Amino acid sequence: MKRDIEVEVNGNRYRRTVEPRMLLTDFIRHELRLTGTHVGCEHGVCGACTIHFDGEPVRACVMLAVQADGHSLRTVESLAEEGQLNRLQRAFNECHGLQCGFCTPGFLMTLQPVVDAGEQLSDDEIRDAISGNLCRCTGYQQIVDAVNSALAPSQPDGHASTS
């Protein structure tokens, strides 16, 4: 039986009627037309579908749309600030943290809380933080570089640190 749900996504309220079997990824992409959230494996392995559910990174492909009823979500579309890439996104751009870009939304949503926490991390800790996200292009080193860059204290003429 279909169910009515009300979900807040990136600050906007949406009401929809969905089948219980609809995955949260399909809801976000097909019902809300927010196609920034990508789908790689659809069984919880690749991390491309990472979003924030009540503030915490989760994999949207192993959640149901009905489970989002009454909850608040954020997707990669919410990261840009006033139409400009945010600090983490710029760091990915500048450090070549992406090539094809398929995995990028998932990495960004996984890493945004890490960057927001503002703690300096070792390369090993960064690799641990991204262990749940697969990238077939970069070999990960540039992603680690991007996180380091996003975490580096602002410098007047620095790369990702300029505003």
Partner 1 sequence: MKPPAFEYEAPSTVEDAARLLADGGDDAKLLAGGQSLIPLLNLRFAAPSLLIDLNGVLELAHINEAAGELRIGALVRHSAVAGHALVAERHPLLAEALGYVAHPQIRNRGTIGGTTAHSDPAAEVPVVLLMSDARVIAHSTRGQREIAVDDLFVSIFTTSLEPDEIITEVIIPDRHVEPGTITGSSFQEFARRHGDYAIGGGAAIVELDAEGICRNARVGLLGAGMRPEESKAAAAVLENSTLAEDTVREAARVATAEINPLGNVHGDVQYRREVIREMTFRAVMTAANKAKAGTA
Ligand X SMILES: Cc1cc2nc3c(=O)[nH]c(=O)nc-3n(C[C@H](O)[C@H](O)[C@H](O)COP(=O)(O)OP(=O)(O)OC[C@H]3O[C@@H](n4cnc5c(N)ncnc54)[C@H](O)[C@@H]3O)c2cc1C
Residues that bind ligand FES (CB under 6 A): 39-42, 44-49, 59, 61, 98-103, 135-138
**Residue 137 or 152 with smaller CB distance to ligand FES:** 137
At 50, which helix (H) or strand (E)?
A: strand 50-53
In 3D space, the residue among 18, 19, 36 whose CA is nearest the CA of residue 108 turns out to be 36
User: Residue 20, interface with ligand X (CB under 6 A)?
Assistant: no
Task: State which of residues 6, 45, 101, 128 lies at the interface with ligand X (CB under 6 A).
Answer: 45
Separation CA 110–CA 133 (nearest Å) = 8
How many residues form the binding site for ligand X (CB under 6 A)? 2
12: how many CB neighbours lie within 10 A of its CB? 10
Task: Yes or no: say if 48 and 135 are a contact pair by the CB < 8 Å rule.
Answer: no
Rule CB under 8 A: which of 40-99 touch partner 1? 42-44, 47, 50, 53, 56-59, 61-64, 66-67, 69
> Least distance to ligand FES from the beta carbon of 163, Å?
26
Location of structure tokens 């009627």: 17
Using the minimum distance from each CB to partner 1, give the nearer residue, 67 or 154: 67
